[in-house]
Amino acid sequence: MRPSSTLGFAFLLCLLLGCTRTLYVPNAIHTPLMSKKGDYSVNLNMRPVAPFNSELQTAYAPIDHLGLMANGSIMGYKSANNESAFKHHLLEAGIGTFGSFWENNCHQKIMRAECYLGTGFGRASVVDDYPGFFSSDTTVYTYEGNYRRTFLQVGLGVRLKMVELSLATRFANVYFPRFTDYANGIRTATGDYEFYTYEPAIRAAIGYKQLKFSLQLGFVESLTQDASDFNNATGNAWGNIHFNGSIQVSTFLEDCPEAPPISFGGAATEPDGNRLPTVLRLYSPTPTICLLAVDSKSDGSVCSLSLNGAPLLENARLSQDPICVETNLLRNTENILLLKCNSVAESNSSTLKIILKEGKLEREFYLKATAGSTEELKLVVQE
pLDDT in tens, 93-117: 999 999 999 877 776 889 999 999 9
Q: In angstroms, how far is CA 345 from the centroid of its own chain?
A: 55
Rounded to 5°, angle at Cα 269 from 267 and 271: 145
Q: Are residues 142 and 227 in the same domain?
A: yes
| Domain presence at residue 157 | yes
Per-residue pLDDT band at 189 (split at 50, 70, 90): confident
Mean pLDDT for the stretch of residues 167-190: 86
Beta bridge partners of 127: 85, 142
pLDDT of residue 147 exceeding 80, the answer is yes
**Does 244 lie in the same domain as 335?**
no
Would you state the pLDDT for residue 64? 93
pLDDT of residue 169: 96
pLDDT (0 to 100) of residue 117: 97
Q: What is the pLDDT of residue 20?
A: 56
> pTM for the full model?
0.65
Helix (H, G, I), strand (E, B) or coil at 12: helix
pLDDT for the residue 266: 41
Which conformational region is residue 170 in: left (phi greater than 0), alpha (psi within -120 to 50 degrees), or beta? Answer: beta
| Domain co-membership, 288 together with 326 | yes
> Which DSSP string corresponds to 342-354?
EE-SSSSEEEEEE
On whether residue 257 sits in a domain, the answer given is: no
CATH number at residue 352: 2.60.40
Query: Does 372 lie in the same domain as 223?
Result: no
Nearest to 352 by CA among 286, 300, 279: 300
* Number of structural domains the chain divides into: 2
In a domain, 14, yes or no: yes
In this predicted structure, what is the pLDDT of residue 254?
A: 72
148 and 289 co-located in one domain: no
Q: Are residues 21 and 152 in the same domain?
A: yes
Least-confidence region, from 34-43, 130-139, 300-309: 130-139
Average pLDDT over residues 175-192: 82
Q: DSSP string of 149-201?
A: EEEEEEEEEEE-SSEEEEEEEEEEEEEEEEEEEEETTEEEEEEEEEEEEEEEE
Same structural domain, 222 and 285 = no
Specify the range with the lowest mean pLDDT, choosing from 42-51, 290-299, 357-366: 42-51
**End of a domain among 188, 215, 250?**
250
Q: Are residues 172 and 38 in the same domain?
A: yes
Local confidence band at 51 (pLDDT 50, 70, 90 cut-offs):
low
pLDDT bin (cut points 50, 70, 90) of residue 184 is confident
Mean pLDDT of all residues in the chain?
A: 80
Q: Which amino acid is at 381?
A: V
Reported confidence tier of residue 376, pLDDT bands at 50, 70, 90? confident
Name the band, by pLDDT with cuts 50, 70 and 90, for residue 10: very low
Answer with the one of 250, 281, 298 that is the final residue of a domain.
Answer: 250
CB-side neighbour CA atoms (13 Å) of 342: 11
Do 227 and 314 share a structural domain? Answer: no
**In-domain check, residue 259:** no
Average of per-residue pLDDT across 72-88: 78
Q: Answer yes or no: is pLDDT of 285 > 60.
A: yes
Helix ranges (DSSP H) in 198-285 = 228-234
- Tell me, yes or no, whether 258 lies in a domain: no
Q: What is the mean pLDDT of residues 298-316?
A: 87
377 found inside a domain: yes
Same domain, 27 and 144: yes
Same domain, 238 and 369: no
Mean of the pLDDT values across residues 306-333?
89
Average pLDDT over residues 46-55: 70
Q: Is the predicted pLDDT of residue 154 greater than 60, yes or no?
A: yes
Pairing of strands 323-326, 335-343: unpaired
Is residue 208 domain-shared with residue 292, that is, in the same domain?
Answer: no
| Rounded percentage of the chain residues whose pLDDT exceeds 90 | 32
pLDDT, tens digit (0-9, with 9 covering 90-100), for 234-272: 765 445 788 888 899 998 877 665 544 444 444 444 444
pLDDT computed for residue 140 by the predictor: 81
Q: Domain containing 136: what range?
A: 3-250
Integer angstrom CA distances of residue 126 from 9, 72, 80, 116:
20, 20, 15, 31
pLDDT(47) > 80: no
pLDDT at 7: 39
The answer to whether the CB of 22 falls within 8 A of the CB of 144 is no
**68, part of any domain:** yes
Q: Judge whether 148 lies within some domain.
A: yes
The rounded distance, in Å, linking the Cα atoms of 127 and 145 is 12
User: What mean pLDDT comes out for the span 168-172?
Assistant: 97
Q: What is the CATH number of the domain that holds 136?
A: 2.40.128
Helix, strand counts (H, E) of the chain: 2, 21
